[in-house]
Structure 1
Amino acid sequence: MPRTSTSGATSSPTPAVDRAFQILEYLATISPEAGVTEIANALDINKSTCYNILQSMARTGVVVRDSRFPVYRLGPKLVELGTASRRNFNHRDDVKQMVRPLVEKFGITCLIAQPLPGYRGFVVTDRYLPRGEDILSAPIGQVYPVNAPAMGRAFLAFEDIHGSAIAPADFGLRTNADLDALLRGADEAREDGYGRSVGEQNQGINAVAAPVRGTDGRVNFLLCIFGYTQHFPDDQIDEVGTALRALADQISYRVQGVAGYSDR
């Protein structure tokens, strides 16, 4: 397989919008508080342009400027927008009702995660926790990288990437060996209908993930069940993975009208 990245630069019809999102991502992931000069230098944006974009976003509450120091941080408007996005997630109530019995049966957490564009990872949009103590969870809005073992394999299993010119860096990896291992895991997930992680991302934590696909065959969102090994032992992975795959198929058919893995 070629190892050349296809992520060549292309001009944007709305560069100011692109830069605004770059600024938001910088404040979200790199520096929670930053001034105009720091942001402009880090993102290679003209300082005057950076200032004007920050001022525009500050007027709507997307960012806020500190009252004591010349720094900006993410603003409350994003909380409002994020809440609306989560509330407007199609078929959220249906998915919740379908996921709940599986969560209670196995006593482990299920996350709903949607893929971000450009193989930038998966953002948690909802979660379903079982009753009990010492339950593993993840916050709404947490982003997992595309190379996260269970979710990454389940997602890439149904992406048309074989034969494409891709590079390790496209998936946050360093070497061709890492990329080959990720793609082998995706091949296994395609056969099984779900991706797995046996203590790979975090020691003592197991996970399985299965895709819910749209009418175009692409992954709309992922179901990911994970937990500490005392709640989710290695010998239970196949059972949970098979049950999660069946549930993802049911959701795909019920909310998307798509035949699932088991109907192929």
Structure 2
Amino acid sequence: MSPKESNSYSAPMVYKSFAILKEVAKAQGTLGVSDISRQLNFNKSTVYGVTQAFLDLGVLRQDESTKKFRLGPALIQLSNQSLASVSLKDIARSFMMKLAQDFAGTVFLGCFDEYGITIIEKVDSPEDLKISAPVGTRLPFFSGSAAKSFLANLDETIQRRIITEKVLPKFTNKTINNIEDYLADLKQVRKQGYATDFEEYIHGVNAVSVPLVDIRGTLLGAIWIVGFSNSFTKDRMQQAAVAAMESAKQITRIIG
């Protein structure tokens, strides 16, 4: 069927909805209903109806004070699922293998949505005694360094809202579950470019994580390296963080 033929079966509201999404994506956080209506020459009631449906579905988020829109977690989830199926895993695996070999730890690649973290690829430690989990494993939302890599890339107002709504859990006696302390930790993560977990998620296990962020600033996922606390020490984790950040740069450079 040619494009012209297919137009006879088109649904105008679908095209309008997609146009609204594209407009929001181009100007994240700066457009409200009236702005979109004016720029696209759409009826304001149409824009309102579409954006309300998108808010309900998690496709958009709206700032409570400014009423401006941003893309929501549902789109991020779909994007992550698409990337997870082929390209990101394929590109990242060779870098993960080197990290696992160099630091004798298990290396995970994961993506995020509003419910938690999904492991989409892993390379086990070469050591006989190792920490592992199968691909497809779902981790709790605030689990260790990987969660920090995700949250640190969000605006602080969004961080605070998520933390308040979901409530910080207490996985171990070293878990940070005070909101202000956790927010301060996220600020440090954003500044230094990597996140650490010193037995905060699992007793006797340390981890370091780096985000994978494309050239548009979109978070694609994270890579984290996990090892036993008696061997994967603070100094070793620092070295691993530097290597992982370099790997992340190369991975996202390839992805573009």
TM-score scaled by length of structure 2 = 0.61
Residue of structure 2 equivalent to 1:179: 179
Is contact 1:103-1:110 (8 Å) kept?
Answer: yes
Gaps of 5+ in 2: 1-50, 59-80, 171-175
CA contact (8 A) 1:147 1:172 kept: no
Task: Tell me which residue corresponds to 1:235.
Answer: 235
Q: 2:105 aligns with which of 97, 105, 108?
A: 108
Q: CA contact under 8 A between 2:120 and 2:135: conserved in structure 1?
A: yes
**Per-residue deviation, 1:214:** 2.4
Q: Residues 107, 187 of structure 1: CA spacing in aligned structure 2 closer, same or farther, 3 A cutoff?
A: same
Q: Report how many residues are paired.
A: 178
- Aligned mates of 1:171, 1:150 — CA distance in 2: 17
Distance 2:215 2:242 in 1: 22
Of the three residues 133, 147, 169, the one matched with 1:138 is 133
List aligned pairs for 1:214-225, cutoff 5 A: 214-225=214-225
Greater percentage in helix? 2
TM-score normalised by length of structure 1: 0.59
Structure 1: where are the runs of 5+ without partners?
A: 1-9, 19-83, 258-264
Contact conserved, 2:168 with 2:177, CA < 8 A, in 1? Answer: no
Amino acid at match of 1:101: K
Is the CA contact (8 Å cut-off) linking 1:147 and 1:182 kept in structure 2? no
Aligned residue identity for 2:235: D
The correspondence of residues 76-115 of structure 1 with structure 2, limited to 5 A, is 88-115=85-112
The alignment-based identity, stated in percent, is 21
Aligned mates of 1:215, 1:86 — CA distance in 2? 15
The aligned residue for residue 196 of structure 1 is 196
Is the contact made by 2:198 and 2:229 (CA closer than 8 Å) also made in structure 1?
Answer: no
SS of residue in 1 equivalent to 2:156:
coil
1:93–1:187 CA distance, 2 compared to 1 (3 A)? same
Cα distance in 2, alignment partners of residues 246 and 145 from structure 1: 27
Letter in 2 for 1:195: A
Q: Secondary structure at the match of 2:136?
A: coil
Contact 1:158-1:218 within 8 A present in 2 as well:
no
Q: Does 1:168 align with 2:160?
A: no
Shift of 1:238: 1.0
Query: 1:129 Cα deviation (Å)?
Result: 1.2
Describe the shift of the 1:125–1:177 C-alpha distance in structure 2 as closer, same or farther (beyond 3 A). closer
| Structure-2 change in CA distance of 1:86 and 1:230 (3 Å) | farther
